[in-house]
Every structure is written in structure tokens, then in C-alpha cells.
Amino acid sequence: KHKDFALGNYAFSKNGRASYDEIKEMPPYEEFVESGEELYNEKFANGKTFANCFPNPAIGGDYPYFDEKKQEVVTLGSAINQCLKDNGEKPWKMTKGKMAHLQAFFSYSTLDEEKPVNIKINSQAASEAYERGKEYYYSQRGYLKLSCATCHVQGAAQRVRNESLSQLLGHTTHFPVYRLKWGAKDKNSDGLGTLERRMAGCIKDQGQNPPKANSKTMKELLYFMAYMS
């Protein structure tokens, strides 16, 4: 079913879906959502909170968007860091830690309100940003000569070793994500990561250097992916 694609490869992997449903009975990530809610309500040094920047936390499906004034793509991570800077606070790392926790709270708030993905292309400049993201997604790079599309369009639903390859449709809807791999291999990680973190790891697996998490290239890549969902 169309809406099942929001679950990634669990849309077609029976074993994966069974494991997903089982882990939801006692989710290992609940504490991170609660931590994100605490961060949302925690006061900055000036007395304000993230609620001043994001009055309604159910914004998971509204990012990334194209800012017509700045003429650039704004991701949720960059918006969070801009809020911190505007309030005299230091920006956070884009891939994990507090950033992932707050985004998890935003995502769960969006899920609770049943708000769908709402990404728009309203101008020529926005369309060009989308096209650059699309070009990156479909371009073969690195010594393996792979692209994102190699696995997630042409190879969707196939297997690589023990991994089921997920599909482009719905890719951005279920982040941040909790991965046992991240918690086991990275002593500085609690297993939760943002979409930027996952994309960087995937691009490394293709045999190439990933763009920086807050770079124009990464933002436009995520804009393309989000619009496709």
C-alpha cells in the first residue's frame, strides 16, 4: 500500500516488518524522544526556548524547504542551529546527540498529528535546487561507480549480503533512526542518527567522500529526496 512506503524496506520485507513491530513493543528509542521534548522546553540563557522558534513541534514533514528570501534550501538541522545562534547559543553537531534527540521529538509530534510530508517547489530557483539534488542522486561516483539510485531505484527490494535495499519513495519519512550498528561501533553514539548521518554513511559505502552535513550539496540532495516522498 502506498502509505506503507513510509516504513522504508519494511513495506515489502516480511521479516523486517516483523522485527520492526516486535521492537516497537519496547522501543529502545523512547528515552531519546523524551530527551528531545526536554530540550524543546529547556530555557536558553536568554530565557527563551525552541518553542519560540518552532511554536508547533509537528514540523517533521515540512523540512527541508526552499527559502525564497535566502535562495537556499533549509533543512531541519540547519533551522535548529539557526535558532540556537539567534538565541546566543552554540550550534549542535548535525548528525547525532542533541540534534537527533530534538528531531526525534519533532518527528513523533508530526506522527501524532498524522501530518503528511509537505514539501513544495514554488519557484524556478527551488526547481533548480531540486534538479541539482536529483543529479547528485543519479550520478555515478567513487571507485565503485555507484549512485544512490543504483541501490534505491534500480535495486530497490533486492538484497546486498544480509541487507534489503530500501526504495527512494518514503526514504526521508522515518528519520532520525535508531540503529544497533551505530550504538555498537561508535562509543560516542547512542544509536540514534539524523538523515544527514545516514546519507554520509551510505555515500561512503559507494566509495566516495560524502558532502558535509550542512553543505549546499547535502541540503539539495535531501530536498530532492523529501520532495519525492
pLDDT in tens, 77-122: 999 999 999 999 999 999 999 999 999 999 999 999 999 999 999 9
Q: Kindly calculate the radius of gyration of the chain based on its CA atoms and give it in whole angstroms.
A: 17
As to burial, measured by CB atoms within 10 angstroms (0-12 exposed, 13-18 middle, 19+ buried), residue 114 is exposed
**Residue whose C-alpha cell is 508547533:** 56
Q: What is residue 146's predicted lDDT score, i.e. its pLDDT?
A: 93
From CA 148, how far away is CA 79, in angstroms rounded? 25
**Is 148 in the active site?**
no
Say how far apart CA 137 and CA 198 lie, in whole Å: 14
pLDDT for position 186: 67
Q: Measured between alpha carbons, how far is 154 from 39 in angstroms, rounded to an integer? A: 40
Q: Whole-model pTM above 0.85?
A: yes
Block means of pLDDT (10 residues each) for the chain, length 229 residues? 83 84 87 96 98 97 97 98 98 97 97 94 98 97 92 90 87 89 73 95 91 97 97
178, containing H or E segment: strand 177-178
Identify the active-site residue in 83, 148, 151, 202.
Answer: 202
